[in-house]
Structure 1
Amino acid sequence: MSESNFDCLVIGGGPAGLTAAIYLARFHLRVKVLDAGKSRASLIPCTRNHSGFPDGISGEELIRRMKAQTQKYGVSIENGRVTRLDPADGGFEAHWGGGRLTARAVLIATGVSNRRPPMDEALHDEALARGLIRYCPICDGYEVTDKKVGVIGDDSHGVAEAIFLRGYTKEVTLIAPDTAMSLRQKDYEKLAELGIQAVDGPCQAVAIDGKCIVVDTAEGRHVFDSVYPALGSDTHSDLAEMVGADLNETDCILVDSHQRTSVTGLYAAGDVVIGLDQISHAMGEGGVAATTIRNDLAKRRPLIR
């Protein structure tokens, strides 16, 4: 089955993609959103630093509201993963589970996936829902103020995250995920200076004990109020790479100040672009991208009613 004549295809139904879709629809453009259903935002139990929600809001509820707002303006949102993207007749052709479609412009807002710590999947999901596993200290470091926190990681990223969290609590432990801790001497010195304990791995989160999470390591058993995995993430930029867009050394899509990629007609926004990895930041990029898409399309063909 083939669909055509979309002004813009938005790939990704997270905060960046849905914000862009709302803008594009209100520009009276024909828009379609294809969403693989794996937005990191939907996994957030409760965000309390997103403006306008003083008591917090779950990521799932925020995405539900944004989808409803998007659909209010006639945007078609369908669940499905785009498996191929090709240049076609001044635009693009996308292949997905429902067939093929063409669009004059494409916005990639496919985000990233956090690498999970070594633990049972069901235990991970329960711990995440209860705030015992957390992935974003910028988002929720406030919630672990003066609590006992573990950070799983043994590279510069893990050290940086442990030091960042030291601004919220004096009880921070850095744990190697797989083997003995292997850091630069200056990292050990900095951790010691700040009172951050460094513990050898391997480690595994093994149980939930009341309001705490239990982690086994090579040096014994530890009980934390929350654990932050600092294991990096995987960027979903394969579609951009497929059409020749430039990526950086961590596979994030390179864009200009208006969210244009190096390929004409292809745009990117949100966590798939290097940046702050925050909901508000992704929304801002979505708004910038949508406005740029509208103006670029108007240069090619006047948008009149």
Structure 2
Amino acid sequence: MPSMLDCLIVGGGPAGLTAAIYLARYRRNALVVDEAKSRCAWIPNSHNLAGFTGGIRGTDLLARIRAQAENYGACIEAGSVATLKRLPGGRGFRAGLGDGREIDAASVLLATGVIDGQPRMSYLYEAMQRGLIRVCPICDGYEVIDRRIAVLGHGAQAVGEARFIRTYSPYVTLLTLGEPMVLPMEERGELDAAGIAVIEEPVTAVAAGEDMSTRLTLENGHILDFDTLYSALGITARSGLAERLGAAMNEDGRLVVDRHQCSSIPGFYAAGDVVSTLNQIAVAMGEAAMAATAIHNVLRNRD
């Protein structure tokens, strides 16, 4: 490994791995440090990624992109980046890895994504793989047309998601999990007019129902069966490194970047869900392509 990398890529999801493909083909020395925490790995079958007419499992997609990157010589390591600081004189960045090593890089691409707020369920991953729990109606709302759907959440995001999903099914219920739903009368009326039920009773038990459904038991003893649960409990950006570096972020903790995916700090780029953008694989890949090309051009001019 050279004493100074052209680029350190933090995160091995669709954005980070796509950037690795581009940088390898640009003949740049780049290293991907991957904690294996990509939310893409939770996708049971993605149907809206162009080119995969039958859909593709998230883990399979990651394996394909990784193999393509390695085919061009990209270096990908399992690990974590614990610290990141700028070198004097704008000469790049120094990253402290979880194993104690330090790596210098002329540029850094942050592709760490976000973490979805999830209900506390003992079989969460299995339920998501079976399509009983979902997190992205943009990704898979088409697959739940006319199904019985529960949206879990109690904030503005949950209300917006329930109204969005209503375009796919008339059987939508908003479950606040015991939290009070404080809404202006106008918004509450809009939910009622759309036929979206709001239940503020706590859920005390979750079990498998008949015909691949999910059965929820409320605190008052009522039992509700749903075909799909959508978690709308918010997201947390994995942007701690950027925050400590002083990069500009929005109120949700996601990075603000320019049209080349560069943050407010020269040489520090970001792509994918950690950016204030649409949380979609295709978008993450496109942002990665733009970031990698910008990094290459800046280095080319420097060289």
Structure 2: how far apart are the matches of 1:93 and 1:132? 43
- Whichever residue aligns with residue 51 of structure 2, its letter is G
The answer (yes or no) to whether the contact 1:175–1:181 under 8 Å persists in 2 is no
- 1:205 to partner: Cα distance: 5.5
Counterpart Cα distance in 1 of 2:125 and 2:242: 30
Query: What CA deviation, in whole Å up to 9, does each residue of 1:179-201 have, x standing for no partner?
Result: 33332222210110000100013
Deviations 1:133-183 (A, max 9, x none): 000000000010010000011121111100100100000000112333332
SS in 1 for 2:133: coil
Same amino acid, percent of matched pairs: 45
Q: Structure 2 matches for 1:169-208, cutoff 5 A?
A: 169-204=169-204, 206-208=206-208
Q: Secondary structure at the match of 2:55?
A: coil
**Secondary structure, counterpart of 1:117 in structure 2:** coil
Aligned partners of 1:3 and 1:101 also within 8 Å:
no
* Equivalent pair of 2:15/2:111 in contact (CA under 8 Å): yes
Unpaired segments ≥5 residues, structure 2: none
TM-score, reference length from structure 1 = 0.95
Following superposition, the deviation at residue 204 of structure 1 comes to 4.9
2:279 is aligned to: 277
Deviations 1:202-222 (A, max 9, x none): 225511124101122345221
Paired residue for 1:77?
Answer: 76
Which structure 1 residue ranges, 5 or more long, are not aligned?
A: none
Distance in structure 2 (CA, Å) of the matches to 1:294 and 1:221: 57
Cα separation, partners in 2 of 1:189 and 1:128, compared to 1, 3 Å: same
- Which residue of 107, 112, 115 maps to 1:113? 115
Measure how far apart 1:256 and its partner are.
0.5
For the residues of structure 1 that align with 2:30 and 2:291, how far apart are their CA atoms?
A: 14
Q: How do 1:239-278 and structure 2 match up within 5 A?
A: 239-278=241-280
User: What is the number of equivalent residue pairs in this alignment?
Assistant: 298
Aligned partner of 2:276: which letter? Answer: I
Q: 2: distance between equivalents of 1:183 and 1:216? A: 25
Q: Report what 1:165 is aligned to.
A: 165
Q: What's the TM-score, normalizing by structure 2?
A: 0.95
Structure-1 separation of matches of 2:277 and 2:205: 30
Q: How does 1:81-100 map to 2 (within 5 A)?
A: 81-89=80-88, 90-98=91-99, 99-100=101-102
SS in 1 for 2:142: helix
- Report the Cα distance in structure 2 between the residues aligned to 1:83 and 1:208, rounded to whole angstroms: 40
Counterpart of 1:5 in 2: which secondary structure? coil
Q: Does 1:15 align with 2:14?
A: yes
**1:29 alignment partner in structure 2:** 28
After the TM superposition, which parts of structure 1 deviate over 3 Å for at least 4 consecutive aligned residues? none
